[in-house]
A and B are shown apart, each in its own frame.
Chain A
Amino acid sequence: MVDSANTATSGALPGSPDSPDTMTVDARDSGGARSSRFVGGVLLLVLIGMWVAGWLSGTSAQDMLSLTAWGVMLGGIIALGGIGLTLCYGVLKFPNFAHGEFLTLGAYVTYGVVLVLPQSNPIWRFSFGWELIVGLVLAAAVTAVVAIVIDRLLYRPLRRHQSPLVLLAMASLGMEFLLRGIVYLIWGSDFHFYYSGRSNPALSLPFGLRLQADQLFVFALAVVLVALLYWMLTRTRIGKAMRATADNPDLAQVRGINTEQVIAWTWTIGAGLAATGGVMYGLASQMRPDMGFVLLLPLFAAVIMGGIGSAWGALVGSVIIGIAMQLTSAFLNPAYGPAVAFVLMVLVLLMRPQGLFAQR
């Protein structure tokens, strides 16, 4: 981007709705702003419509119920990636296109660890043993380190130069391909499973629902982590500093907040959660080097739907998108899942560009 364009593009930085930067942007966006209650109602109607469409196309109500439950589980996986993305988006103000690769990296590092460690017996009814938990923790740490290194080498110099948001977005797209290339180089392009051939029977739950124990674990973990994050953002010092930095970095710095430290924490949490999401996705289906890229669109859809910077918003958006993606698979080729996520995102953008749970 040429120098003369900096003024205009930096004016388009996203931020809290009350910072002067975004007033002009919001003026451009305000065309069709509806209340979040209205948007929520429309989304509910859309989901009900999908339910009915699936039911009419010959899927039994029982199966539709199962699909809904699986959608909630898928939403949990998307949420783990989405929360990190929304946090980075809120604090650093640019869409990190490399975020999907954090999921891939986390999944594959865990895979590497699981291969090395001795296999323990499966825990309870889950398909995995303790070595997966160990791998997950290690993978979260490795991914966080990778994220911080990228930030130090690439994003921080760009921030120092006051680069416009579009350059940061472009740099992150470059990192997307760099990380994916590395994953391909180390692990090859084949599909992998954590435990190939291990049976993973579904539990029979009330209402005739059949869910795998793993799926329940994934969703429970997502809810616990989101609750922890919410507690951290509202109650702890670093969480408050994070929100302050997201609101107004300059003011936060003036008030003695070490914004670089806050940013490092943001990357740690975001990448760690993404790695967890990647492991869960690998557990629920299979690992493939392009899984992060396939999930990128649902991730962004969830984040924009929920409102950038809002952790609860990302969770709600993820669950809506997860359900929609599963429900439509009853009457549509499942390959179009990202397209469904995308259409819902555009729908929300048309009605309420700031998302369902805009910050304050």
Chain B
Amino acid sequence: MDSLHLLKACFLLIPAVLMGCLLFSRWRWHVRLPAAIVLGCVLAFGVAGWLPGIMDYLVSFSIMAIIYAILSLGLNAQWGYNGHLDFGVAGFFAVGAFTMALFVTSAPAGVMAAYAQQWFGLNAPYLIGVIAAGIMAGVVAYLIAQPILHLRADFLAIATLGIAEIIRLIFQNERWLANGPQPMSGIPQPLSCVVDGGNCAWLPDAIKPVLSVMQPRDYSYLYLVIVTLGLALVYIVLEAMVRSPWGRALRAVRDEEDSAAMNGKHVKSLRVQSFVLGAIIIGVAGALYAPYMVTIDYSHFKPLFATFLVWVMLMLGGSGNNKGAILGAFVIWAVWSGTGFVTDYLQVALQGIAPDVASRMSFLRWAFVGLLLALIVLYRPQGILPEKKRVSRFLQEPEN
């Protein structure tokens, strides 16, 4: 194994260990942490040693799966724990991504201003962009929640679907805001100096030569670490929140609104809180998505990719279960990517026979995912990992 692959494996170590921690969550910490580290080492160095060819693909796959996992967690905060039928994930996702883009880029000047327009460009640090994206998505969600959230569940579904469409239309048509139908490009990637020959000012001199084997194209390894830490943070915060009395109140409001109100819970405000919390998480996912893509435009936020897939992920993984949300994101993203290979193969196979039909093969995936959601709803609406009925680990496991 050469030094480049060794270094790449070291980058993979953090996500692999964190995955181990999630997998072994049934065990106590003094067993769990060593087990996770062992598993992480085996995975990271095993992949680097035996399958170096798939490493790059694995990393780009994992980054998208993790961003979807964060989206799925956000939706879980809304739907899984409080029963909001939010068909507008794409809207909050777009708000987060474009807010991030506007905050971290600098406004085009000089000749560039003739080609690209944007409302403002603050050239702010990455973290500020993430926080701003979360706040913006939360504010939008709060404003939407005011007139709509107290209505029936189906009205919320229609309204959020509409809001997402309108947000997309705004980003599509308003050139002054975020360069209209043209893409917003050049979103800076955080810490990209690390892989650029290791010439960051703040890096100790001892590490610089080690990192110098990394090329800018290997940036995704570093970004994988960043999004994994983001996912871990969101997961831990969300898990702590839903296990708190506040989280139990959310579930009470979802299951028995009247009883919750009778027990002194402020139903209306709790519903708004969970809706806004979910939107903030979705916005953060958008903020992580924008720098990874470098160039974003309105077409990234169509309902299929940004709303529908997330719903399929959460429903398959298990609504009301954060682990399920993450699992579902990985499984469905694997299915989606896998069917991509199938449709590509079909496209090549049909090219000679019927080139017309061949070019449409990519739409086979739409039909397939639609069917998949119907099957999940029909046969396993609770998902792979159903919600745990036990609200506190100090209580006994309830009998079903």
Interface check A141, CB cutoff 8 A: no
* A184-218 with Cβ < 8 A to chain B: 184-185, 188-189
Interface check B387, CB cutoff 8 A: yes
Distance between Cα atoms of A24 and B370 in the complex (Å): 33
Q: How many residues of A contact B (CB 8 A)?
A: 59
Pairwise interchain contact A165-B154, C-beta atoms closer than 8 A: yes
* Interface flags, A259-298, vs B, CB<8A=1, else 0: 0000000000000000000000000000000000100110
Partner of B364, one of A97, A170, A181: A181
CB-based closest 3 A-B pairs = A181-B366, A181-B367, A178-B370
Task: Kindly provide the distance from the CB of B176 to the nearest chain A CB, expressed in whole angstroms.
Answer: 13
Known contacts A5-B83, A166-B83, A167-B377; 9 further A-B pairs (Cβ under 8 A): A8-B255, A8-B257, A170-B373, A180-B366, A185-B367, A188-B359, A296-B161, A339-B162, A345-B158
* A128-160 with Cβ < 8 A to chain B: 154, 157-158
Residues of chain B within 8 A (CB-CB) of A176 are 370
Distance between Cα atoms of A123 and B275 in the complex (Å): 55
**Can you list 17 A-B pairs, Cβ within 8 angstroms, ordered by A?**
A3-B382, A14-B152, A24-B258, A95-B157, A97-B157, A154-B378, A167-B381, A178-B366, A181-B367, A296-B161, A297-B165, A304-B158, A333-B173, A335-B172, A339-B166, A342-B165, A349-B159
If over half of A's interface residues share one DSSP class (helix, strand or loop), that class is named, otherwise mixed; here it is helix
Distance between Cα atoms of A308 and B364 in the complex (Å): 34
Pairwise interchain contact A177-B169, C-beta atoms closer than 8 A: no
Distance between Cα atoms of A278 and B273 in the complex (Å): 40
Q: If the complex has contacts A29-B152, A158-B377, A333-B173, are A177 and B370 also in contact, measured as CB distance less than 8 A?
A: yes
Distance between Cα atoms of A99 and B51 in the complex (Å): 47
Residues of chain A within 8 A (CB-CB) of B155 are 304, 349, 353
Distance between Cα atoms of A333 and B172 in the complex (Å): 11
Residues of chain B within 8 A (CB-CB) of A293 are 303
Residues of chain B within 8 A (CB-CB) of A25 are 152
Distance between Cα atoms of A291 and B255 in the complex (Å): 37
Chain A interface residues toward B at CB < 8 A: 1-5, 7-9, 12, 14, 24-25, 28-29, 31, 94-95, 97, 154, 157-158, 163, 165-167, 169-171, 173-182, 184-185, 188-189, 293, 296-297, 300-301, 304, 333, 335-336, 338-339, 342, 345-346, 349-350, 353
Q: If the complex has contacts A165-B154, A297-B162, are A178 and B371 also in contact, measured as CB distance less than 8 A?
A: yes
* B303-357 with Cβ < 8 A to chain A: 303-304, 308, 311-312, 315, 319-320, 356-357
Residues of chain B within 8 A (CB-CB) of A95 are 154, 157-158
Task: Kindly provide the distance from the CB of B370 to the nearest chain A CB, expressed in whole angstroms.
Answer: 3
Interface check B32, CB cutoff 8 A: no
If over half of B's interface residues share one DSSP class (helix, strand or loop), that class is named, otherwise mixed; here it is helix
Residues of chain B within 8 A (CB-CB) of A342 are 159, 162-163, 165-166
Distance between Cα atoms of A4 and B366 in the complex (Å): 32
Pairwise interchain contact A349-B148, C-beta atoms closer than 8 A: yes
Pairwise interchain contact B359-A297, C-beta atoms closer than 8 A: no
Residues of chain A within 8 A (CB-CB) of B361 are 185
Residues of chain B within 8 A (CB-CB) of A346 are 147-148, 159
Distance between Cα atoms of A276 and B256 in the complex (Å): 43
Pairwise interchain contact A188-B367, C-beta atoms closer than 8 A: no
* B135-176 with Cβ < 8 A to chain A: 147-148, 150-155, 157-159, 161-163, 165-166, 169, 172-173
Distance between Cα atoms of A336 and B85 in the complex (Å): 24
Pairwise interchain contact A171-B368, C-beta atoms closer than 8 A: no
Q: How many residues of B contact A (CB 8 A)?
A: 59
Residues of chain B within 8 A (CB-CB) of A184 are 360, 363, 366
Interface check B386, CB cutoff 8 A: yes
The chain B residue with its CB closest to the CB of A342 is B162
Partner of A1, one of B303, B319, B378: B319
Interface check B222, CB cutoff 8 A: no
Pairwise interchain contact B356-A188, C-beta atoms closer than 8 A: yes
Residues of chain A within 8 A (CB-CB) of B389 are 4
Residues of chain B within 8 A (CB-CB) of A29 are 150-152
Q: If the complex has contacts A173-B308, A174-B373, A188-B356, are A1 and B381 also in contact, measured as CB distance less than 8 A?
A: yes
Interface check B365, CB cutoff 8 A: yes
Distance between Cα atoms of A67 and B226 in the complex (Å): 53
Q: If the complex has contacts A2-B386, A338-B165, are A353 and B366 also in contact, measured as CB distance less than 8 A?
A: no
Interface check B87, CB cutoff 8 A: yes
Residues of chain A within 8 A (CB-CB) of B312 are 174
Residues of chain A within 8 A (CB-CB) of B372 are 174
The chain A residue with its CB closest to the CB of B363 is A184
Task: Kindly provide the distance from the CB of A184 to the nearest chain B CB, expressed in whole angstroms.
Answer: 4
The chain A residue with its CB closest to the CB of B320 is A2
Pairwise interchain contact A339-B169, C-beta atoms closer than 8 A: yes
Partner of A94, one of B154, B308, B359, B386: B154
Interface check B374, CB cutoff 8 A: yes
Task: Kindly provide the distance from the CB of A3 to the nearest chain B CB, expressed in whole angstroms.
Answer: 7
The chain B residue with its CB closest to the CB of A171 is B377
The chain A residue with its CB closest to the CB of B383 is A2
